[in-house]
Structure 1
């Protein structure tokens, strides 16, 4: 299982998240988001050797991307051709399904070429984590996950847990203590489930 800390807006937070244990550092490229990142921050994090995910909310941003990221997170409806495009350029794909807004089984089948299919639900994915919709599917999860409910998510054996706002003191600014508490909760879960 991988942990992605998303909504990073500066190099200091990227390094802090990585040093705490994040496998993937996520940058949002959407001008409307309070967590919108500057591409130069992604470049610096990439040069530091971090595994990077860039979150895109429109197709034109992907086509104009320099593709420096390891993962392209596609946060809008798409088809195999876009996944193929990213793969041809050496990237991996995280395709996002918005739980309750899209037909999970149909979209899951449509996104089968993605490296990770992630289900997102706002405000909290943990409120629906016991749904039969997830049975038999290899998924990542996002949406309000924090140290208090991460154990519920881990019971599903996810490929990825994506965490953002629950680790902040302000939009786009990560809180060291919340990050440490989150990774401590992860460690406790795995210690209890050996």
Structure 2
């Protein structure tokens, strides 16, 4: 089975074109003002038009209000909502029902205790994104370039599709897939030359490394 690839935090048409040409299955658009990858709604709407059919457009949001989601979905055509904040399982279910858009919930993992949250979230969303738990002092909930002990996921059963994130880069993504059996992988800072600036060569190398497994 081919591992799906999500390239997150794209900000330019060239970023999108490169990612698609290299075989990305998902394009991540970030809506979080503290992030260097943040997009305005106007910029995101224009960028979404450059994504070809068959490639999913994923909107990353952090603790969004109903009003913010309504505005976003009215302006930007997206296929999947990625909730990357402290949304509770009840809030995830509410968003999923209210918007009618499939939801992927990000869950931060630091140690074995954090795995307990996975089951509760898998019951209320279409997909799970397993990310490295950010430090308490971190400004960003993700995209920090941090990994976690991938062995924590070995032998685990999943009731919904899941995606591995957290510190992935061209040099380690193949090992991460082999250790976890991840059916999908997500990268952002691992293919950047500086925060928010994607590097075409790194995107190509990342996708090639995934396909080599």
- TM-score norm. by structure 1 comes to 0.84
Matching residue within 36, 46, 56 for 1:44: 46
Determine the structure 2 residue equivalent to 1:99. Answer: 109
2:79 alignment partner, one of 70, 79, 85: 70
Indicate the SS of the match to 2:34: coil
Alignment check: 8 A CA contact 1:55 1:74 kept: yes
Aligned to 1:148: 171
Q: Distance in 2 between matches of 1:77 and 1:103?
A: 17
List alignment gaps of at least 5 residues for structure 1.
Answer: 190-194
- Is 1:58 the counterpart of 2:67? The answer is no
**Post-superposition, which runs of at least 4 consecutive aligned residues in structure 1 deviate over 4 A?**
none
Structure 2 stretches of 5 or more lacking a match? 133-143
Residue in 1 that maps onto 2:156: 135
The alignment yields a C-alpha RMSD, in angstroms, of 2.4
Q: 2:129 corresponds to which residue?
A: 118
Question: CA, structure 1 residues 165+134, in 2 after alignment: closer, same or farther (shift >3 Å)?
Answer: farther
Kindly tell me: are residues 24 and 186 of structure 1, through their superposed partners in 2, closer, same or farther at Cα, counting changes over 3 Å?
A: same
TM-score of the aligned structures, taking structure 2 as reference length = 0.77
